[in-house]
Amino acid sequence: MTDETGEPAGGNPSEPTADTDANDVEETTNSFSLASFYDICETQGRPILTAGTVATALGTSHEAANAALDRLADDGDVTRLSVEADPVVWYPSELDDPRARERVVIFPKRREIVVDQPQQFTRAQLSQFAHLAETTGDGGYRYVVRPEDVWQAPHDTLDGLRRTIRQALGERNDTLEDWIESQWDRARQFRLTTHPDGYTVLEAQSPEIMGNVARPLLDEEQVHAPISETEDWVREGSEAAIKRELYEAGYPVQDDRELDGGDPLDLELTVSLRDYQRTWVERFDDQGAGVLVGPPGSGKTVAAMGAMERVGGETLVLVPSRDLARQWADALAADTTLDPAQIGQYHGGQKEIRPVTIATYQIAGMDRHRSLFDDREWGLTIFDEVHHVPSDVYRRATHLQSRYRLGLSASPIREDERQAEIFTLVGPPIGTDWDALFDAGFVAEPELEIRYVPWADEAGNAHAAADGRERYRIAAENPAKIHEVRTLLAAHPSGQALIFVEYLDQGRELSDALSIPFLSGETPHHERQRLLEAFRAGERQQLIVSRVGDEGLDLPTADLAIIASGLGGSRRQGTQRAGRTMRPAGGALVYVLATRGSREEDFARRQLQHLGRKGISVREHTVDRPDEADSAEESGA
């Protein structure tokens, strides 16, 4: 006899009976981990579970769940506790030790939360309603609760969100919760719907919100006319503009249009998703739109294929370059059950429209090609390197309509601060705490070091006489960097190395001086592929790469990355280049070379500060001039 939760009605849990499936017990016991325990805690909204709750969540028997919990208890990961209300409950053992409990400090007026040494469970709870702004080397985490974090919180009810907040913070904070409630309400004031006659309607929760917010903002280019006090008839093609206008005014629009899903597409993944990738796919499926945000190496492309499997509709993949189009086609053929004949590419090299079509943004946005994409009803559109879409050239491709929209980016930030447009054009961010991926071993945390290189005499004199952009270029191409690159490569003779440069002349000089191939936009496609394949296979240890490698190519990961120039670029560029060393094996190094006494020093700190806030440690080192080093060695220093 059991109660409604599936627990025995009294006494201790019974021993397995003869009817118990031994295979089920063994399989559950072997596969159930502390991470699985935390996943169920998160779903239940509390850090204490019963065997019946675990059995229900896993779809297994009570005996199998009890055996799995017993194993975790034997390993010291969870603790048993017999109480009157439930015969046995289980909770994480770390809660036994007061020293292991996080110290949480709340600044409600600034909407900031500072946590000392948070456990992964706490970080997972905080990520549902707050943004990780920065981490410190000693385990401090600073979160900021922004409007968009509340707007996209993965909860169906405000009460559910409140439970998550209180569980993460360990207390109730009325000031913070009142503000969060106001943002929750804002996110539900407007929605786009489809009228029975087929056109789009903007609908408001009240006449007041429509009259005081929407109608003063929107003009005749976006709406035809009012239909009622709370409804406006939307002009075809202006949906994205309306969403952007209202988003910037602090009112995100829920998109509930009945968009065509296209013909069904039957495909299955042939690789397994990691737990966090499965969570990404589930959140995307719930929302119908979103941007997967994770470090390079975290498997966003595989997760996107998981979304394709979940949607089950014809798919358009948009990419910045034809090289990425080819890599997507290869990955789809390798990791899904799609037949190669179902996969088409549409760019300057070839033009095929298939059930899964991979096209470049530029081609998809051109008037003479766009009708081909408009005429086909897509179930899903995937925007790779989605941080491009706010630009004038790329955003035209976002006007293509599909039922589901998914973006991918390691770092959807823009130096022009237009990243909000990414989320209005595509969907809200869906991401994972970088530290959680580092802790779990899915992605390795690289070691970053800024090395301040002295001037070569002639370059220093030229820098002093120059001004403006020319000064920056002279510092970037400082010939002393050739010596430093050679020194670093000699210090790591067995590692595979990628050397990044901003300027073609510098790339050619390094290539000539070090006898290393230089891969740039001028390199023929067949030669690029040959060099990259040799690097992947371990047949070539070193490559010099221009800006074409930041995102236009799927570069292989490396043990060593040396950024010889390009520090005036974006924070996103720093993330992309550092990310080339992020892989589970660990031990990777990133060296950033900056000419001492130039603006490169400031650029280096600014570019890598963004990675520092994600938990990656950054150190600094000043390189001695060759004559200084010789003098120090002679003096015995």
DSSP string, 236-279: TT-HHHHHHHHHHTT-PEEE-------SB----BSSPPPHHHHH
pLDDT of amino acid 155: 83
Helix, strand, coil proportions of the chain in percent (round to 5)? 40, 20, 40
Share above pLDDT 90 across residues of the chain, in percent, rounded to a whole number? 30
- The answer on pLDDT for 560 being more than 80 is yes
Do 616 and 476 belong to one domain? yes
Domain membership of residue 15 (yes or no) is no
- The answer on pLDDT for 630 being more than 60 is no
Do 403 and 483 belong to one domain? no
Do 358 and 241 belong to one domain? no
Closest CA to 106 of 188, 8, 179, 161: 179
Name the more confident of 403 and 235. 235
Do 179 and 39 belong to one domain? no
Last residue of a domain, one of 163, 186, 209: 186
Closest CA to 308 of 406, 178, 225: 406
pLDDT of amino acid 310: 93
Provide the pLDDT confidence category of residue 559 given band limits of 50, 70 and 90.
Answer: confident
Do 426 and 484 belong to one domain? no
pLDDT of amino acid 628: 47
Domain membership of residue 215 (yes or no) is yes
Gap between the Cα atoms of 484 and 487, Å rounded: 5
Phi, psi torsion values for 256, nearest 5 degrees? -110, 30
pLDDT of amino acid 7: 37
- The answer on pLDDT for 165 being more than 50 is yes
β-pairing, 378-383 vs 315-319, is parallel
Do 377 and 467 belong to one domain? no
CA distances to 112, 213, 232, 251 from 245, rounded to whole Å, are 27, 10, 15, 9
Closest CA to 254 of 191, 210, 296, 313: 191
Sort 372 into a burial class: Cβ within 10 Å, 0-12 / 13-18 / 19+: middle
Domain membership of residue 308 (yes or no) is yes
> How large is the angle between the packed helices 62-74 and 51-58, nearest 10 degrees?
120
Do 328 and 467 belong to one domain? no
Last residue of a domain, one of 68, 96, 124: 96
Domain membership of residue 266 (yes or no) is no
Provide the pLDDT confidence category of residue 546 given band limits of 50, 70 and 90.
Answer: confident
Q: What is the pLDDT averaged over residues 397-411?
A: 78
By three-state DSSP, how is residue 584 classified? Answer: coil
Gap between the Cα atoms of 598 and 603, Å rounded: 9
Gap between the Cα atoms of 271 and 334, Å rounded: 9
H/E segment holding residue 174: helix 174-186
SS (H, E, C) 65-121: HHHHHHHHHHCCCEEEECCCCCCCEEEEHHHHCHHHCCEEEEECCCCEEEEECCCHH
Q: What is the pLDDT averaged over residues 478-486?
A: 93
Do 399 and 532 belong to one domain? no
Q: What is the pLDDT averaged over residues 18-43?
A: 75
Do 463 and 409 belong to one domain? no
Q: In the chain, how many domains are there?
A: 5
CATH number of the domain bearing residue 51: 1.10.10.10
Do 381 and 301 belong to one domain? yes
H/E segment holding residue 233: strand 231-234
Residue ranges making up the domain that contains 79: 22-96
> Are the CB atoms for 222 and 242 separated by under 8 Å?
yes
Do 330 and 369 belong to one domain? yes
> Are the CB atoms for 523 and 586 separated by under 8 Å?
no
Closest CA to 389 of 356, 351, 427: 427
CATH number of the domain bearing residue 584: 3.40.50.300
pLDDT of amino acid 214: 95
Domain membership of residue 116 (yes or no) is yes
Last residue of a domain, one of 96, 114, 139: 96
β-pairing, 140-144 vs 131-135, is antiparallel
Closest CA to 363 of 346, 381, 379: 346
Q: What is the pLDDT averaged over residues 383-402?
A: 73
Provide the pLDDT confidence category of residue 441 given band limits of 50, 70 and 90.
Answer: low
189-210 pLDDT, tens per residue? 999 999 999 899 999 999 999 9
Amino acid type, 518: F
Domain membership of residue 327 (yes or no) is yes
- The answer on pLDDT for 57 being more than 90 is no
Domain membership of residue 13 (yes or no) is no
Do 588 and 451 belong to one domain? yes
Domain membership of residue 237 (yes or no) is yes
